[in-house]
Structure 1
Amino acid sequence: MSKNSFGQVYRRLSSKVLDLVVKPRVLGEVPSKKVTETPTEVPTSPQAVCYVLQTYSRSNALVIDGETRRLGLHPALEPLQLNELSEKTSVFFLQQKETTYTTDNKHSLPPKLVHLVEFLEKHPEADIQLIPVTVLWGRAPDKEDSLLKLLFTDTWATPSKFKQLVNIGVHGRQSFLEFHPEQSLKTLIQTAKEQNTNLAPSTYIVHHLNQYLDRQREAVLGPDLSDRRNVIQSIIKSTNIQDSIRRESLRSKISLFEAERRAVGYINEIVSDYSYSTVRFADMALTRLWTQLYDGVEVHNFNTVRELAKDYEVVYTPCHRSHIDYLLLSYIIHRRGLMVPYIAAGDNLNLPLVGQFLRGGGAFFIRRSFRGNGLYTSVFKEYLYSIVSRNTPLEYFIEGGRSRTGRLLPPKTGMLAMTVHSHLRNKGKNKPIVFIPTYIGYERLMEGSTYIGELQGNPKEAESVLGLVKTLRKIERIFGKVHLNFGEPVFLDDVLKAHQADQITIEKNDDPIPPEVSTAITSSAYEILEKINNAAVINPVSLISLILLATEKHTLDEELFIKQLDTYRNLATHLPYDDRTEVTSLSGKEIIRHGIKLKLLKRVQHALGDIIAIEDNQAVLLTYFRNNILHSFILPSLIASLVELNGKIGRKDLVNVISMLYPFLKAELFMKWDGETLKPAIEQYIDALTDAQLILNEDNILYSPQPNTIAHNQLVILGASVKQSLERYYMTLAIITQRGSGNISAKQAEDLSYLLGQRFSVLYEYNSPEFFDKSLFQGFLKVLSQKDYIRTNEKGFIEFDEYLTNVAQYANLVLDDVTLQMLQHITQFSDEELKEALDALAAQNAKRRLKRKAKK
């Protein structure tokens, strides 16, 4: 038997043995099959394909060969033939096999690459597509403290033969393979020559491909990580922390030893203890949990993240709907082949057992407030700096806490500011930072009932092990589908440049943030929130909620309901809020069936046609899901409301009224349009509603359809979605104008709006959570001030002129007479009634604070 024949037999036998043990999972995109050939076929076109591995490994080559055959690609261990060029295999290694202890062979150029380059220089009409490939056996980052862990995990070091055998045995079913985009060898040769360096083309190509594969590897493994003990030691020994310890000693009048012990305590309280075994366990456990709990988890636009992870430090900034968010996002990132991010978690989650598990999954803990504690602040900043310096991916919730209403909360910029501070301390030494706005959408929430209770005045439920057990009891219930949509990235360097802050550096831990950087941080926070909303997923439950909550009794004739669902879907599909917005593919009938399955809807059978209603006690909870997508329909809703209420309105007048109201809606709902893009968007929605025959257009006069027609009923339902926002705006305006200029403070106006909102909701609505959310009234007053509608004098009282009174009078264009009368009635009160109400609220707040302190 010839040597070549023996090699083929050996390869086939090795492949069969390896196939019994190794089941690799392919990450990312698979190469195009345009380069596929049969094993005996000589290509007629002057092009071939060759796979590139970084380090020599026969088992890796066998794995790639098996996968290329399974995927119908050109097999890696079949000959590479192109005209007179003939190589035994179609794969080469950038780092060569080391044959002796003294040889330098592993640092020499790959012979096969040299042959390919020489061939293309002689045949410029030909080309060879290089496909870099990453193979990983397990995905634990390097740990310095354990030889056992190093033995059983894939690291940055090239494995020995023995370790590779262990890898195959231990990680055979946790192996990962990723084909990277094809690179033209001819183009690489040309680039090497254009660089005008002294490097030969082959040397340049090896350097280029090594750097490229290093970036891919880091995106999956993350950077080399030290163990927790070494991290703590490096932080405590840093110059910044030693200075802080000395200041703490002087300030608190304690010894240096005691101050250092206090610092170590803070570090232990904060620092993560990332463990791949914890991640593997969580992966298996969560796979079962999602299967039991949800009908599926749908992920959109993850390829954006995969590409960015190679060249940027990724900071995931999702919205915060549920405690499940932590687990879900890390699970998806891990399953899609990237490193699990380090997560900033509130110290309220640092519970017995649970806290240690979360630490193992990458969580580090932060106190809700540490203002005035200089040592804690310094320790936390130094730890965050160590994470950023190692280009470790991060995750934190830009809203700070979980939303209780389903709307995005105003941003809390603390973590964002400290991330930027760390980046500027290490500027030029680390990767640029990219923020990934991430929308998470549910169809049912575990915490839903507690959210509503908290908004209606019940004390916030503290996290506890008992509370977790109660939550886990709900696992047998079906919670529908979950959607993760990764939004358009926000590049930190671009934001800093836009605010003339790109040349600023920071040297020390306690250096203040310059004003230009502070402005850039605020800007990036709002941009992240807007892009989270841009990536909203309009799912069946959110559509059901949007429509039925807009009806008086939360019921609809089934035929009209189906028409309304299909109209909303068509509007969102043909005129999407944003390119990243996703819309359910279910039809109106299918959406109703889905709502009944989730026990959110019920069918009331009737001889004249079935009626669909919200299930008992579900209306308030459904406001949460309506609010997830309210921003997507707010402009068409406002158009519909103005046209229907007024019967007819000039197109120009409608645009002007909406332009006046829009800044308040933008601030409340974090909408994307600005002064330049708003009017074209309004015009597009007017045309879309005209095409749908929900409004009529004659000579730029917009008319409402005839009453009691299906089109008119649809218009009324569509227009109702914006009604509650307008009611809240008018309520606050009425309070301010009724009291008169200079007679009420901003705090009093906010508190009174909050109290009257609660009363109005109980009397005339259905305990709608929006009227119990103080932040919405705060936001409205803030925009009034920014627009100079109101001003605060030196005594803290609100002053205004006739312009604000005129604005308040516009209410008759956007609210019906009955609603206006109700609002005018409840906002009329005397000085004594004002004082009595505010005193009662202050006493109520004081009582809650005492309860919270008692629990602590």
Structure 2
Amino acid sequence: MIPSFLKNKFLKKRIFKAPVATDSQSATGSDAATDDAAIATKPYSNAPINQLYRKVSGQLLDIAVKPKLLGELPEFDTDDQTLRFYVLQDYSRSNSILIDLQTQEHNLPPALVGVNDAAHNIKENAAIIFLHHPHAKDSQLSPRLSRLVSAVLQYPELKVRLVPVSILWGRAPEKEDSLFKLLTADNWEDPSITKQLFNIGVMGRDTFVQFHPPQDLRTLINDNLKGHVEGPAVFDSIATDSVNSTTDGTNEADTVPSYALVAAADGNREMVRMLQQQLKIYLDKQRASMLGPDLSDRRNLVDKLVYSPAIKHAIEAEAEASGINVRDARSLAKGYANEMVNDYSYPIIRVFDRFLTWLWTQLYDGVEVHHFERVRELATDHEIIYVPCHRSHVDYLLLSYVIYKRGLSIPYVAAGDNLDVPVLGPLLRGAVAFYIRRSFRGNALYTAVLREYMHTLITRNTPIEYFIEGGRSRSGRLLPPKMGMLAMTVHSQLRQTNKPVVFIPTYIGYERIMEGGTYVGELKGKPKESESLIGLLKVGRKIERIFGNVHLSFGKPLHLSDFMTKFDVAANSLPTDRTDTPLDAKTSAMVDNIGVKIMQHINKAAVVNPVSLLSLVLLSAPKAALDEDICREQIALYQGLAQQLAYSEDTVITDMSPQQIIDYGVKLKLIERIPHILGDIIQVADKQAALLSYFRNNILHVFILLSFLAALVARNGRIERSRLDNIAEQLYPFLQSELFLYYPAHGLAETLNKKVDNLLSHGLIVELGDGVLSVPESNSKCYQQLQVLATPVEQSLERYFMTLALLAQQGSGNLTENEVVDLCHLLGQRLSVLYADDIPDFFDRALFTSFISALTRLDYLQKDDETGILTFDHRIHDIAHHAKYVLTPDMMQILQQVASLDEEEITHAITEISNKKQRKFGRKR
């Protein structure tokens, strides 16, 4: 409904008929009597604007329109002589007033106030430039921009900043061939009062404003004069609020010869036209990054997919291979397309916006976002592929919400079809999801349709999100990457390059998760529950619990073009009309490398939050309990170690004090304080140890090398640096594979020296001379801290040694890879119950798979392609030999006993595992 007060004649006269901010006019009236000196020192003047009109119209518009600010506010230099103008796409009275209200609200230089600078012959009645102005007489050039360009060319000392501004009346992407496109367009064209009334009445409460970084007009002009203009990308190379200077401190304008300035003045119109076009393209790209591409009707999109040349070829191949006619094959392909294609609905997005705003308020104390500016800088000129870690079902909603609230178009999310359940499934499809089957190996037609759909999204510049791990991590560690979606992305880019693809590794960290109990049960062997509406309602009962904060950190972007250069992969090297062209060996190696780099960059962007840090400390202590004073000291130590030698410049360390961290853990009911006359004790709360191991594993990679070095020194008492380096270099590849450490193996010695120096500076180890490292004095505070720090790495090394012991005892050529993983999983479960307080790390199947894969990749194991049988030589025993340097004799004996299975026990275990898998497969079918 359009508010009745907007329909009266008074409003039409005031808002839509009064002469507002027309940049073709100069200031008049009381300005003529203003002292020139005063004008020169105060460039902004209120006199040119009818203040009564501005006040009344602003108040009326403010009632109907409640704009939301996107992005960051522009930062200006402190020079009072700098003139600042806001650049808008189209002339509009209402937009003028809206920008003026926003500048008042956010204490920015005013928009509807005259700009007067007598020293430079500038006298404008408003600080707004319209790129498309109805009063433009000179080939549609902006009159105000023309005058400013002339002034800057004439006066070398004049400073003018342009602030591009985007205004969106609603954030619905436009529909292709929509009958209502003209009515609902987000820009208002004078003098369409109907369109203005529609936007105010219907979209006024869903209005968005974004101020983009200020651009220096002189720098833009100089770049044009020197012939270095590269389209809208010129804005990316400019300082946002300062003039570029040469190395000797002079302004760049001083380096332009006088004859160039004369030529520029003669070609002023062409200069203005070029600048105006650049500004238009810039704002168009910003708008596209906020709204996304125009939408095609879902039915039409499915038809376009099915009748595309690539799918026509796939249909013909399917018909021939399956012995069916082309019509039936096309019907099958259409069914696949209908399974997966998103049905974006802006009304559903708005519903989710309001619902999720409420939900996050109920669930979390806050949502902390780090490094988002990286995404914003790339969004206009790149095809964005978000590749987050997968911790919880909440991930895709949370990430999309954060992106949307910060003013960028939400990505289409590749979701497993297990989420396509009644009620929830259609809602997610209308918001962010396109559904893909969990497994479609061998189904060539389904693969072709999915590849073509991905190609369609990428070539239409639709941001995409997929979880490269394939599923949610049950242990808190990153899972090995699945290369399927990544390969499809690369395949699309090699078929047709539109915008360059950039991957955004994204770390998501929680302080509590809804699925925590379920994850522990699944790791112990409990069947995975299928997603359903009933399951969703069960989760809803947890909303009243306290879940602390959630952290999103956007890692360093990875440009596909950089990898293509590194691996010598040519652009546009695949046929555009085929989806089944295989990737060659170089490209496949590139895809594998990208997958690993993404995982490493996710870990580099980790957030060491209070819960993960507290978990790391307490689970390293005997019986998961510490004296409160010692607990505070250990937390402070870990903070100091991480801050002094940061894992990565992207890693974020909590700035809460140790005492605040302890109190926070008590508040979340993850730990408890036990009063005692000799000092309170902090211990893990009942049945929370397994869950806390999940959060510890989120940041284990940050401290693992420090823990490894601490264990080598602590278990040996004394050790030579050279011996320490030798052992670390041989075992490092397995830790690197498990935790996606980014330190290259060829430069490991330097990294180890820095870590050792870090430990020395905190007194955790002592250097005796001649390259010998030693533990501190027994029973000292530093000695106790060293023992706690040495603990986290032990569980990884124990798993390695148990696997190696099993292989060595069973002998080469007797077990397959799957059998080794299954047996290790069983042994880990047993070991965990007997000796490790039921911590899930010992029986996470993915960790054993990762270790076997690393042994195979490094050629310690060889696998027969037909039978899967593993063979090996004496080097397996050599690696196991190093266990004595880091594990206690008692633990080594326990692991040896656990891994000692006779032939009858092996056969029985393998048979039971096989039967269990068949029952599980039968349930899934």
Partner letter of residue 218 of structure 2? K
TM-score normalized by the length of structure 1: 0.94
Is the aligned partner of 1:124 residue 2:167? no
CA contact (8 A) 1:96 1:107 kept: no
CA distance in 2, matches of 1:106, 1:768: 76
Deviates more, 1:129-138 or 1:255-264: 255-264
1:44-90: CA deviation from partner (whole Å, max 9, x where unpaired): xxx42222111111211222222223333221222222322212222
Is the aligned partner of 1:709 residue 2:780? yes
CA distance in 1, matches of 2:753, 2:591: 33
User: What pairs with 1:1-400 in structure 2 (closer than 5 Å)?
Assistant: 7-34=50-77, 43=81, 47-82=82-117, 83=119, 84-97=121-134, 108-144=140-176, 146-148=178-180, 151-152=183-184, 154=186, 160-195=192-227, 200-400=270-470
Partner letter of residue 666 of structure 1? Q
CA contact (8 A) 1:55 1:93 kept: yes
CA contact (8 A) 1:26 1:178 kept: yes
* Number of the residue aligned with 2:923: 851
1:673-708: CA deviation from partner (whole Å, max 9, x where unpaired): 002442222222212221211111221321112333
CA contact (8 A) 1:141 1:154 kept: no
CA distance in 2, matches of 1:473, 1:85: 64
CA contact (8 A) 1:95 1:106 kept: no
* Number of the residue aligned with 2:793: 722
Partner letter of residue 291 of structure 1? T
Assess, with a 3 A threshold, how the Cα gap between structure 1 residues 167 and 759 changes in structure 2: closer, same or farther: same
Assess, with a 3 A threshold, how the Cα gap between structure 1 residues 287 and 106 changes in structure 2: closer, same or farther: farther
Partner letter of residue 27 of structure 1? L
* Number of the residue aligned with 2:595: 525
* Number of the residue aligned with 1:40: none
Q: SS of the residue aligned with 2:824?
A: helix
Deviates more, 1:563-572 or 1:821-830: 821-830
Assess, with a 3 A threshold, how the Cα gap between structure 1 residues 516 and 156 changes in structure 2: closer, same or farther: farther
Partner letter of residue 69 of structure 2? V
CA contact (8 A) 2:816 2:870 kept: yes
CA distance in 1, matches of 2:172, 2:138: 26
Q: SS of the residue aligned with 2:517?
A: helix
> Paired residue for 1:544, among 592, 606, 614?
614
The Cα shift of 1:273 comes to 0.7
CA contact (8 A) 1:349 1:355 kept: yes
Q: SS of the residue aligned with 1:511?
A: coil
Q: SS of the residue aligned with 1:248?
A: helix
* Number of the residue aligned with 1:820: 892
CA distance in 1, matches of 2:384, 2:456: 15
* Number of the residue aligned with 1:654: 724
Partner letter of residue 271 of structure 1? V
CA contact (8 A) 2:92 2:190 kept: no
CA distance in 1, matches of 2:188, 2:703: 50
1:476-513: CA deviation from partner (whole Å, max 9, x where unpaired): 11111100111111111111111111335221222222
* Number of the residue aligned with 1:467: 535
Is the aligned partner of 1:801 residue 2:873? yes
User: What pairs with 1:836-847 in structure 2 (closer than 5 Å)?
Assistant: 836-847=908-919
User: What pairs with 1:632-643 in structure 2 (closer than 5 Å)?
Assistant: 632-643=702-713
Q: SS of the residue aligned with 1:565?
A: helix
Q: SS of the residue aligned with 1:711?
A: helix
The Cα shift of 1:8 comes to 4.4
* Number of the residue aligned with 2:251: none
TM-score normalized by the length of structure 2: 0.87
CA distance in 2, matches of 1:503, 1:137: 39
User: What pairs with 1:748-759 in structure 2 (closer than 5 Å)?
Assistant: 748-759=819-830
CA contact (8 A) 1:140 1:154 kept: no
Deviates more, 1:730-739 or 1:121-130: 121-130
CA distance in 1, matches of 2:71, 2:644: 30
1:341-399: CA deviation from partner (whole Å, max 9, x where unpaired): 11100000001111110011121000011122222222212211111111010001010
Assess, with a 3 A threshold, how the Cα gap between structure 1 residues 362 and 438 changes in structure 2: closer, same or farther: same
CA distance in 2, matches of 1:158, 1:726: 72
Unaligned 5+ runs, structure 1: 38-42
Q: SS of the residue aligned with 1:434?
A: strand
CA contact (8 A) 2:75 2:213 kept: no
> Paired residue for 2:522, among 454, 457, 466?
454
Is the aligned partner of 1:696 residue 2:766? yes
Aligned residues: 838
Q: SS of the residue aligned with 1:364?
A: strand
Assess, with a 3 A threshold, how the Cα gap between structure 1 residues 160 and 683 changes in structure 2: closer, same or farther: farther
Assess, with a 3 A threshold, how the Cα gap between structure 1 residues 221 and 160 changes in structure 2: closer, same or farther: farther
The Cα shift of 1:242 comes to 2.4
Assess, with a 3 A threshold, how the Cα gap between structure 1 residues 6 and 310 changes in structure 2: closer, same or farther: closer
The Cα shift of 1:793 comes to 5.6
CA distance in 1, matches of 2:477, 2:611: 15
Deviates more, 1:621-630 or 1:842-851: 842-851
The Cα shift of 1:336 comes to 0.7
CA contact (8 A) 1:152 1:170 kept: no
Assess, with a 3 A threshold, how the Cα gap between structure 1 residues 376 and 791 changes in structure 2: closer, same or farther: closer
Deviates more, 1:482-491 or 1:689-698: 689-698
CA contact (8 A) 2:672 2:685 kept: yes
CA distance in 1, matches of 2:409, 2:422: 26
The Cα shift of 1:604 comes to 1.3
The Cα RMSD (Å) is 2.2
> Paired residue for 2:506, among 438, 441, 445?
438
